[in-house]
A and B are shown apart, each in its own frame.
Chain A
């Protein structure tokens, strides 16, 4: 009696919140699901074919029905078919999948950048406005959000099933991912890369709000200074301005309009001054010396926390005359041609000018 009631509750519970896939709460989610269900379909067909073949043959040709086997060598024709058809299907999946992959990891130029640092065992998000959050992320709908991720210790992985996006937070290197939330609500945030004892407690909430609510939230949870302002203070306290200033005899490049510029390094390589570059230039300057400047920039490794680096990067970005427009990110240009889009034409002279000094 008792046990049956338990089973009954169990059944009810199952039927009530039974789902085959998570809610689609981002722009990419439907595109992902399209591919996913296409592959499910193909798999089901493939599986049915195999099962049908096996069962029907074992019925038709069981020893009772078919006492003597007919020896058959094989058939190149048939084998060719079941080599080529799967190959074709797999290649379709490959191309389709690659398109989605590049879409997920290629933020649009005008995305709003939120910095996220992962550490054992919590996520810390830094909004440009200076709002901090632990194990939660508030975002508006209808706006492209770019996450710049880094880990302070081990590999973590920032996963939002409802958005179908996931990106590893790697120690010592920025990674990026972007999404555009569509439906307000609260969704799961998981760390999916095993990261030690409390891995399974490194979870949180993604709170998607309408733009209005989001504004309200921003005001309510502001911490006074914006991220860029913190950066400015840090910039001063580290006396970076001693070299990086506007004076003609400045020993370091003037940082105005550096962000998003195309720089030529001392070793002749060209590079795009994105968040990753700026971080590297602060921590490992000797590999990121700009052409035409003496190699005197000291390293700040071990002197600034990752949050501090975020603040400095944001500050340097804010030195651009109109930086919101020019936000571009690491490794995003799919094709060299599309450079133009990522580094607006207006930027190039500035960049060159700075290098030439």
Chain B
């Protein structure tokens, strides 16, 4: 085995993908549509979110094309509004929120804690059906005239001044919300009640901790946005006046309810990503995550503080100056745990034995981009700078650095990391490393100019803009094309690898997680016998020990 990699594959000439696994167990479409197996549901989710990701991506492409020129010439302003609205809604509610939890989380949380399945398999399947129903409804409302509220549904615009499909889209998000509630609920129950013998809270992989924190947010936050959207629908249908200033309602109340979910939602999106990073960075530096406890608790801290900061989206919208002070201060506090994580990851590398397979490259990408995204978040949490920077491209760049640069990088890292476990076959290393680099370059090209645009004052959601902003927009669009390529490549070579990839064997990365100590793809109930956790998480000595045992037996 060459010294620059840790990959150790079985002898390809003799190795076979195990005959008996969760995929080969049953055949036929129904066996998938009626399955209770968390792994199969995860695959269903993976397929569906990929579908929605590329729809959202196509819309993003349209946006960038329109912004190539200062005039709104590619499409009319109202078309543009619909496009960016649907881009936001699809990417947030149908890709980012379920991305890591519903796919990787769904697949690996039970395996990592040594359970046979999630606690509530039927609920798990139900949540996928809800997601699909919501997705179809959203696409339907997109096809039949679309919606142009912006993903924030700001009242009274959404309730009184638009005649697009606000109601159906609102319902779609409502349903999608329940899908994610059920996922979160399922995770919490599973993590509390289904851990295998010896799997104490502080022996759980940090991936599980991160999902635990995110699930708390899903369960407690989502219902509030659900009721907020119900009120918007009622306001539209019946004109009940609760958000209507002319009837004495307060439009700001909607934003309070909306952001009470939609700010924590940001953490719902990023926390699972952080979980992935903890796994990859430990595996590829052969080292226990630096300060395990700190990282674990910082996840929970983010979840808890996440509920106290929502009004920082409303600093200039006429909330009282005094509650601005409170929310701004708390925002500063919530920034700290993220800083802790970044530094702990950096020091995990210290005295490690590092290799640079694709997941690790994505991980480095995540750390760089997420750091930028996080730091620029502080600009917006600081009330003074928020006045100038909010509602401009600065904020657009900020959340794309966190969501795309952070979350999506983490998602791809995770997909590549666990691909051998999910499919039993390796992805092609070289081209995927290339894709990772392309993605990183393309991303910076696309979104870094937008920080400057924002500082110069270019407002977001503009179909046409003053000519002096053109050059940076051209850069951004150019970058977007590169980024697009970076995202298409994995789709192609991962599909290819399903048939032609090398046989991965049990544990290609020499990783310590329980999920790696069984065949890949795993059996339907994950383990031949319930494992017993007799060591800390990320205990590489233990792993060596296991290998020697096997050797001596063989």
Contact = CB atoms under 8 A, between A and B. Distances in A.
B388 A105 contact: no
Contact of B461 (A17, A87, A199, A302): A199
Contact of B157 (A70, A100, A154): A154
A71 B376 contact: no
Contacts of A83: 336, 339-340
Contacts of B329: 94
B459 A87 contact: no
A54 B388 CA distance: 33
Interface string A62-88: 111011111111110011001100110
18 contacts: A13-B471, A36-B385, A53-B347, A54-B346, A57-B354, A63-B5, A69-B286, A97-B328, A97-B384, A101-B386, A164-B387, A171-B246, A171-B251, A172-B245, A194-B150, A195-B157, A197-B81, A301-B246
Given A63-B354, A200-B461, A47 B456 contact: no
A298 interface: no
Interface string B1-14: 00111100000000
Q: Is chain A's binding surface mostly helix, strand, loop or mixed?
A: mixed
Interface stretch (B31-39, B193-201, B462-470): B462-470
Contact of A79 (B246, B344, B350): B344
- A: contact size bracket: 35 or more
Interface string B293-317: 1100000000000000000000111
B378 interface: yes
A193 B320 CA distance: 19
B340 A79 contact: yes
Interface in B317-351: 317-318, 320-321, 324-325, 328-329, 332-333, 335-336, 339-340, 342-344, 346-347, 349-351
Interface of B: 3-6, 72, 77-78, 80-81, 148, 150, 152, 154, 156-157, 160-162, 245-246, 248, 251-252, 285-288, 290-294, 315-318, 320-321, 324-325, 328-329, 332-333, 335-336, 339-340, 342-344, 346-347, 349-356, 364, 367-368, 371-372, 375-376, 378-379, 381-388, 390-392, 452, 455-457, 459-466, 468, 471, 474, 540-541
Contacts of B349: 53-54, 57-58, 61
Nearest to A332: B321
B148 A197 contact: yes
A20 B455 contact: yes
Given A61-B353, A155-B317, A99 B288 contact: no
Interface stretch (A184-192, A231-239, A255-263, A344-352): A184-192
A198 B383 CA distance: 29
Most buried by B among A43, A51, A90, A102: A90
Contact of A47 (B333, B371, B463): B371
A22 B154 contact: no
Nearest to A20: B452
Contacts of B466: 188, 203
Contacts of A58: 349, 354, 356, 364
A177 B346 CA distance: 44
